[in-house]
Amino acid sequence: MNNNNLLSKEIALLLASSLLAGSASAQQGSSGEDMLFSDSDMFSGLTSETATSDEKSFLEAYVLDPSRVTLSHELGYKVADPDGMQKNRSSIRIEYGKYLFDSSYIQLDGKSTRFHEDDHRHEAEGSYERLNQAYIQTSFGQTSIKLGVQTIAWGESILAPITDEISPRDNRELFNLDLEELRIGQAMLSLDQFSDYGKWSIFINPDPEFNENPIYGTAYNPISDVPQPAFVYVDNDNSMEYGGSWKQTFGSFEFSAMAASLIDNDYARKFNSEGLIELSEHRYFLGGATFNYVLGDFLLKGEFGYKSPKVFSNKTGDQLIEKKQFDAYLGIEYAPSSTFTMSVEGLNQHILDWTQDIEGTPGAPGKKENQQSLMLNITKLLMHENLSLNFISIYNGPQSSYLSMFLTDYEMSDNITLELDFIYPHTDDEMSTLWRVKDQKQVSFKVSYQF
């Protein structure tokens, strides 16, 4: 590692330490972030001119070399009337991974974002910090155990969470489809057991987190144009989540099955007798399966999920209605070369014993008996695979809406990445979930420096 990179990491780590010290993550609390960002002793010798060569060697081996720092700035402009700046934000992300002894590994991943003036989240949030991973993993024999803040990924679909329900999501940027970035880490214990009969996995989550949805006063909040409502939380004495999965490969065919007892990632909402919005936790059972089958240049993938009971609000919003739900997803991907991929994916979400009470109202859509999504996804790599062009088009029905995205990613060098994205939502249906954001036609630019 050259001296410039070492110095850059020293400066970035000190900046992150001072920026994040004392900040509490909205999800994880301060104790997890202190491990990564607030330990002044860890970085106390970075700029000392009297440090010995042995101390510098320890610094490089245990702090700088295992770490990766990403500095980013993003600008976004809303081109539809009323036009104006939508994004103006800077972020620093620090990732750290280090083997301890022969069988243990520590992983840290934290990010801090500052929303500057003209960013749609500036006044409502100002800044945001999150520690998404902070765990230690140890292995012995065919067993691997992971303890700490982590994410667990189940399922195949990016159209909607079918079996991928363990990790809640950060939905505050409506048009972000990057599942790795969307998943929120939680303090959990997970265990993987490898055998001739497949991979067996279990998890226990004693204190589940919830989806981060657009907050009041931001561009994507559905009620930001009316007075802010008041909320009251209903405590649940038993919030623990637990479940397991099994995965096995049979030649070109991969199959997995899973079952879990979960708390819904969204609070159940209803008006109470005092006119306040009552938020409560809701437990349900998830059972599902996924598969992948490779046939030449084609990949067939599917996913099925049964959830019972799921909870919905009625039209007037003063009652909760429980229903069973069955989701099915099927996709086919064509990749004739390493530089071109095209896929078509379809999803249907079916509510058993559906009634009109849960279909919602204009501007506050609920659920139809069957909700469909269809996606076309095309990716082309150019310029020695340094330039990625990605076109995505998504249809949602029966309340017809369309979302088209053209995403570009250019690796200018080993350290610098440029991104230019175009977002175009469209709908004429007041019952569509995109109705309130149909004018959010945007172009955004992002530059990242990683070292």
- For the segment 4-21, the average pLDDT, to the nearest whole number, is 50
pLDDT of the residue at 56: 62
Mean pLDDT for 418-438 is: 94
Q: Does residue 246 sit in helix, strand or coil? A: strand
Query: What is the DSSP track for 19-85?
Result: HHTT---TTT-HHHHHHHH--TTTTTTTT-TT--HHHHHHHIIIIITTEEEEEEEEEEEE-SSSPEE
Identify which has the larger pLDDT, 19 or 296: 296
* Whether residue 336 has pLDDT greater than 90: yes
**DSSP per-residue letters across 283-322:** EEEEEEEEEEEEETTEEEEEEEEEEEEEEEE-TTSS-EEE
User: pLDDT tens across 42-100, in order?
Assistant: 333 333 334 444 556 778 888 888 999 999 999 999 999 999 999 999 999 999 999 98
Q: How many CA atoms lie within 13 A of 80 on its CB side?
A: 11
Q: Which residues contact 27 (CB under 8 A, 6 or more apart)?
A: 130, 184, 185, 186, 209, 212
Cα(233)–Cα(426) distance, rounded to whole angstroms?
35
Helix/strand/coil for 5: helix
Instruction: Tell me: pLDDT of 21 over 90.
Output: no
Mean pLDDT, all residues of the chain = 88
Give the other-Cβ count within 10 Å of 67's Cβ.
18
Most confident of the ranges 11-25, 74-88, 424-438: 74-88
Average pLDDT over residues 208-221: 93
Cα 137 to Cα 95, 100, 291, 404: the distances in Å are 16, 10, 27, 40
Cβ-contact 122, 218 below 8 angstroms: no
Asked if 38 and 142 touch (Cβ cutoff 8 Å), the reply is no
pLDDT reported for residue 40: 34
Number of helices (H) and strands (E), helices first, in the chain?
4, 23
Query: Is residue 251 helix, strand or coil?
Result: coil
Model pLDDT, residue 19: 43
Pairing of strands 370-382, 340-351: antiparallel
Q: For the chain, give the percent of residues with pLDDT over 90.
A: 73
- Residue 123: its pLDDT value, please? 95
Report pLDDT for 4.
Answer: 54
The highest-confidence range among 77-86, 155-164, 356-365, by mean pLDDT, is: 77-86
Look at residue 34 and tell me whether its pLDDT is greater than 90: no
Task: Retrieve residue 417's tokens.
Answer: 């990445």
Cα–Cα distance, 312 to 265 (Å, whole number):
13
- Report the predicted TM-score, pTM, of the whole model to 2 decimal places: 0.84
Over residues 387-415, the mean pLDDT reads 97
Q: What pLDDT shows up at residue 431?
A: 87
Q: Which residue has the higher pLDDT, 45 or 127?
A: 127
pLDDT of residue 316: 86
160-202 residue pLDDT tens: 999 999 999 999 999 999 999 999 999 999 999 999 999 999 9
- Residue pair 305/326 in contact (Cβ under 8 Å)? The answer is yes
Which residues, in sequence order, are bridge partners of residue 68? 95
pLDDT at residue 360 in the model = 76
| Closest among 34, 104, 98, 105 to 67, alpha carbons compared | 98
pLDDT confidence band for 36 (50 / 70 / 90): very low
182, 178, 238, 179: which is closest to 212 by C-alpha? Answer: 182
Do residues 129 and 112 touch, judged by C-beta distance below 8 A? yes
Could you tell me if 444 and 87 are in contact, meaning their C-beta atoms sit under 8 angstroms apart?
A: yes
Tell me the mean pLDDT in the region 375-380: 99
336 to each of 3, 156, 293, 333, 381, how far by Cα in Å?
A: 43, 21, 16, 10, 13
Contact status, residue 114 vs residue 91, Cβ threshold 8 Å: yes
* pLDDT number for residue 224: 67
Name residue, tokens 């949805």.
Answer: 213
Buried-exposed string 140-167: b where 16+ CB fall within 10 A, e elsewhere: eeeebbbebbbbbebbbbbbebbbbbbb
* pLDDT band at 2; cut points 50, 70, 90: low
Query: What pLDDT is recorded for position 227?
Result: 75
> Token pair of 173, please?
């940027």
Q: Are 87 and 74 in contact (CB under 8 A)?
A: yes
Partner residues linked to 137 by β-bridges: 105, 146
Q: What pLDDT sits at residue 10? A: 53
User: How far does the chain reach from its first CA to its final CA, in angstroms?
Assistant: 10
Give residue-wise pLDDT tens across range 90-110. Answer: 999 999 999 988 899 999 999
So what's the pLDDT on residue 346? 98
98 phi-psi bin (left φ>0, alpha ψ -120 to 50, beta other): beta
Higher pLDDT, 7 or 28: 7
